[in-house]
Amino acid sequence: MSTSRPDLSRFAINQITTRDWTLAQAVDGYARAGVRGIGAWVQYVDDAGTAAAARLIREAGLFVPCLCTTAWVNLADSTAYRAALAENRRRLDMAAEIGAKTLVVVPGGLATGERDLAAARRRVAEALAELLPYARSVGVALGLEPLHPMYAADRSCLSTFAHCLDLCELLGTGAGIVADVYHCWWDPNFIAGLEKAGPDRILTFHLCDWLVPTRDVYQDRGMVGDGVIDIAGYRAVLDRIGYDGPFEIEIFSKLDWWLRDGAETTRIAVERCAPFVSPRPQAKAA
């Protein structure tokens, strides 16, 4: 029986998974567990101060696959819209300072009182096109994350992998995909979308599981292995297309994992994710 430690060089824990830990606690806890990366959140970085956060992460030797998330831009009021764009430029600066490769795009759903989903999606495309030159200038990609359609009205009108990929191709260099199995596993075109995106368009890949039953559609994600998602199958697809990017576990869990000690959640996350986050065999052999 092997006692070697798993290779976690591609693995990050998205810090919302240990919601009650400060950034300093998360950095320390993940590093102690052998985790090599941290998916950061704006509010935790703001609490620590961006310069201090960057120093903590750098001194721990952690990579940062992403910063979560953009401020909502799907606003009909022009003053609020301009303010949201300014806030997102600040968040792009924050991402660059802490070494995050990607700012995850969650743009909002319908504007207040709106029923025109097509118009909402057009506004998001226009906002991202306006933000993209600044993102390129600071070296941070805009990571479009398709969210489950149940979020379309209030959180994100970017609902399918295909829609996000089409928008990435329209936007061009500096836009890519954040793929999350929780939001995409149901989609019959998810695998085809991964294949079409290829390894360069997929910026990071989020892991968790879909519980049956799901008690809260927003905050009852399962630990890897506790639900119905074929994570091994998706890992095989990613290997086949040559994806060598990061994996993150990201769990919103008000009924379970957020009630546990962060160290326990981290330990179990490492145990459950280790089989799925090792280097790609071809890449390792090379």
Where do the domains of the chain lie, and which CATH numbers do they carry?
A: 11-285 (3.20.20.150)
How do beta strands 141-144 and 102-105 pair? parallel
Using left for φ > 0, alpha for ψ between -120 and 50, and beta otherwise, residue 71 falls in beta
**Residue 55: CB partners within 8 Å, gap ≥ 6?**
none
The pLDDT score that the predictor gives to residue 282 is: 78
Q: Spell out the residues 6+ positions from residue 241 whose beta carbon is closer than 8 angstroms to its own.
A: 194, 195, 198, 199
What does the alpha-carbon distance between residue 187 and residue 192 come to, in Å, rounded to a whole number?
10
| Residue 264: Cβ-neighbour burial (10 angstroms; 0-12, 13-18, 19+) | exposed
pLDDT at residue number 1:
45
Tell me if 154 sits within 8 A of 110, measured CB to CB: yes
> Model-level pTM greater than 0.85?
yes
Per-residue pLDDT tens listing for the chain (286 residues): 455 789 999 999 999 999 999 999 999 999 999 999 999 999 999 999 999 999 999 999 999 999 999 999 999 899 999 999 999 999 999 999 999 999 999 999 999 889 999 999 999 999 999 999 999 999 999 999 999 999 999 999 999 999 999 999 999 999 999 999 999 999 999 999 999 999 999 999 999 999 999 999 899 999 999 999 999 999 999 999 999 999 999 999 999 999 999 999 999 999 999 999 999 997 665 5
**Helix, strand or coil for residue 4?**
coil
Beta bridge partners of 204: 178
Q: Which residues contact 225 (CB under 8 A, 6 or more apart)?
A: 209, 231, 272
The DSSP string of 116-183 is: -HHHHHHHHHHHHHHHHHHHHHHT-EEEE-PPPGGGTTTTBS---HHHHHHHHHHH-TTEEEEEEHHH
DSSP string, 102-134: EEEE--BSSPTT---HHHHHHHHHHHHHHHHHH
Distance CA 269, CA 256 (A): 13
Q: Token digits for 23? A: 């950034």
* Separation CA 36–CA 39 (nearest Å): 11
DSSP tag of 88: H
Distance separating alpha carbons of residues 185 and 179, to the nearest angstrom: 10
Q: How far is CA 123 from the centre of its chain?
A: 22
Radius of gyration for the chain, computed over Cα atoms and rounded to the nearest angstrom: 18
The whole-number pLDDT of residue 285 equals 56
Q: What is the DSSP string of 10-31?
A: TEEEEGGGGTTS-HHHHHHHHH
